[in-house]
Structure 1
């Protein structure tokens, strides 16, 4: 993968290129960014940049040769301009792009194929190459579903750590460097302590590129031995342009999706799949059932939403969350500071009439909790019925209740 294939993150790309060109490369880097920010694509592009033959020639220029006039003077070197991306065409780049370069190793969460297995990343390398090709911005859930994990818990095992130690103890085959790209070190339990000595005192020209989303879930012993590379969330215009260029989404839809995704390109891709769904109608029906419809209407609505897939349920809750955040902005800052369509602004004004800021914040908290439990396979009917009852109690704390 090339840096140019990574959406946005220009400052991070520049910083990584300067590490190589100014000889400031640490032996262990932690790419830390929230889901959808592009941590894995950046790490893959950086690994390819490191092994690129053209980049290496640029950083180690050949002497210019003896003086034309025969003086005994030191040979000068020609210093070409700094390359900010891999060439993409040399043999090393070709192999890196296909994830088959012999000096770039990969580690990621895996599951047992059958009882008693001791799985390693190498057992799933074919699936990994296909996953990265299809979903470079995918998350851990996408990956585990891709390999048929069902409800099994992914893990980076002790056997995997032993395999990493074995691989990195060998000499490099083609490149100057040996590189390990470890995706989701959050899945590395106490067995990760096996890697401490290797990370702290690695063999010459050995690099660790760790790609994580949640710093607090990484072993502190490993965290303290890495140099942090922070990856910010994407800007809405970057997400919008990527959807238009890469997926031929219309400008209007791309703008709406970029607004809802809040810098998470993975979420933007999920929203894109259901861009035709009218979440506003669904939300209007829910609030009308919650506020004035009574138990029968609420149960009917819950039965309908329970039929949707888990991803659609998450996106619907995210949409409601976004609307409530805009309701608060509308109330405090005015209409010119909200990112809602005209029909959504009318809806937001009605929501502001039946609920105050404190109530809206309480509902946002409940929506976040519901999303968390949906990700963990909660029963949809029970979850949405409980959520409906909670929202009803929150809203009805006001004396005056009107239908939305």
Structure 2
């Protein structure tokens, strides 16, 4: 995968190239940034470059045959010196003695990354048929990674380990990985792709070179939508603004049955029932929210609710350049926005943040969503 396949992010790409040119590639680096910003795409492109894929006419390999071989292997993500680590589940019926490792889901992982380097954790959970299970990186993975990285490079160059969502490591795995990072094998590069770095051990973070990835520029998303998806300029411009730097959100808005439309329906239902103080129907709403969606989707739905609260608050100022909504969202907000005001916007936002945190900590979904609904009854009528 080439840097040219990454959407936007010219500044980050330039920094990665500079590390190679100045021969200052760190043994452990961490790419951090918001959802949909292309952290994984950057990691995969950088790994490909380190392993010999050409960047324009440049390659870290000098022999043309070696370059062609490296590119052929990287095309299918089957290079022997590239290793992926990612959170996994333990399928039903699996022996309790078996320590799950990433390789247990190699087929599903290669299917997903072959479809593209932009994805959410929920896409991965669906690939694994995870249902409501939480995916983690366990102690077995750190043992396996230590074994792999101790092997000699098959091609005589770098060995690269991409660790996706290292914040999902359990304590035993994190402590074992720390020992590996303290004394990394020769010419080994660990690339961590992280969304919640605050959850990582401080001792691990102190051993990484952190690179913060910004949201994708609207212009870059608009360009990608017109060139890669064939959209008209006006439609691409509107979608790019709504996406707010998130390529996955841009793609979702191209899907007629996309997830955000489901979330909008749930948001509208919550607000209308809260205003009507219909506790019986709100209880049904909370049961739908807790039973129909997995935990990762519940958290994304709450993120969507938070965005809609912000957009409706800003809508009251009648400044169109400050609002980022689809036509459907704007149609609802034209009548609803007045209910989000200075008297309640902060408390509603904090309520949604608390619910998201509780869901992430495995709280009972029915209780969390019903409590959210009951408190919304009080907040929504404040003026």
| TM-score normalised according to structure 1 size | 0.76
Q: Hey, what's the Cα distance between the residues in 2 that align with 1:257 and 1:30?
A: 30
Residue 107 of structure 1 pairs with residue 85 of structure 2: yes
Q: Hey, what's the Cα distance between the residues in 2 that align with 1:252 and 1:57?
A: 37
Q: Hey, what's the Cα distance between the residues in 2 that align with 1:279 and 1:163?
A: 39
- The structure number with the bigger radius of gyration is 1
Residue 196 of structure 1 pairs with residue 178 of structure 2: yes
| 3-state SS of paired residue (1:357) | coil
Deviates more, 1:287-296 or 1:141-150: 287-296
- 1:51–1:175 Cα contact (<8 Å) kept: no
> Partner of 1:291 in structure 2?
275
Structure 1 250/362 Cα, relative in aligned 2: closer, same or farther at 3 Å?
farther
**Which of 60, 63, 69 is residue 91 of structure 1 equivalent to?**
69
Q: Hey, what's the Cα distance between the residues in 2 that align with 1:13 and 1:270?
A: 25
1:10 positional shift: 1.0
| 3-state SS of paired residue (1:153) | coil
For structure 1, the residue ranges without an aligned partner over 5 or more in a row are 63-86, 399-404
Q: Hey, what's the Cα distance between the residues in 2 that align with 1:356 and 1:111?
A: 42
1:355 positional shift: 4.5
Over residues 187-246 of structure 1, what are the superposed CA-to-partner deviations in whole Å (9 max), with x where a residue is unaligned?
222333223343233232111111111111112222111111111122334334434544
Q: Hey, what's the Cα distance between the residues in 2 that align with 1:123 and 1:278?
A: 33
- 1:234–1:264 Cα contact (<8 Å) kept: yes
Structure 1 339/225 Cα, relative in aligned 2: closer, same or farther at 3 Å?
closer
Deviates more, 1:174-183 or 1:109-118: 109-118
**Which of 147, 166, 172 is residue 166 of structure 1 equivalent to?**
147
- 1:21–1:59 Cα contact (<8 Å) kept: no
| 3-state SS of paired residue (1:31) | strand
**Count of residue pairs the alignment pairs up:** 374
Residue 325 of structure 1 pairs with residue 310 of structure 2: yes
Q: Residues 3-82 of structure 1 correspond to what in structure 2 (within 5 A)? A: 3-52=3-52, 54=54
> Partner of 1:217 in structure 2?
199
Q: Residues 1-400 of structure 1 correspond to what in structure 2 (within 5 A)? A: 1-52=1-52, 54=54, 90-113=68-91, 114-115=94-95, 116-188=97-169, 189-247=171-229, 254-273=236-255, 274-275=257-258, 277=261, 286-292=270-276, 294-295=278-279, 309=293, 320-332=305-317, 334-335=319-320, 337-340=322-325, 348=333, 350-371=335-356, 384-398=369-383
Deviates more, 1:255-264 or 1:297-306: 297-306
| 3-state SS of paired residue (1:90) | helix
- 1:193–1:221 Cα contact (<8 Å) kept: no
- 1:283–1:320 Cα contact (<8 Å) kept: yes
For structure 2, the residue ranges without an aligned partner over 5 or more in a row are none
Q: Hey, what's the Cα distance between the residues in 1 that align with 2:137 and 2:85?
A: 8
| TM-score normalised according to structure 2 size | 0.80
Structure 1 287/157 Cα, relative in aligned 2: closer, same or farther at 3 Å?
closer
| 3-state SS of paired residue (1:168) | helix
| 3-state SS of paired residue (1:207) | strand
Q: Hey, what's the Cα distance between the residues in 1 that align with 2:36 and 2:82?
A: 23
1:316 positional shift: 6.3
1:12 positional shift: 0.7
- 1:2–1:88 Cα contact (<8 Å) kept: no
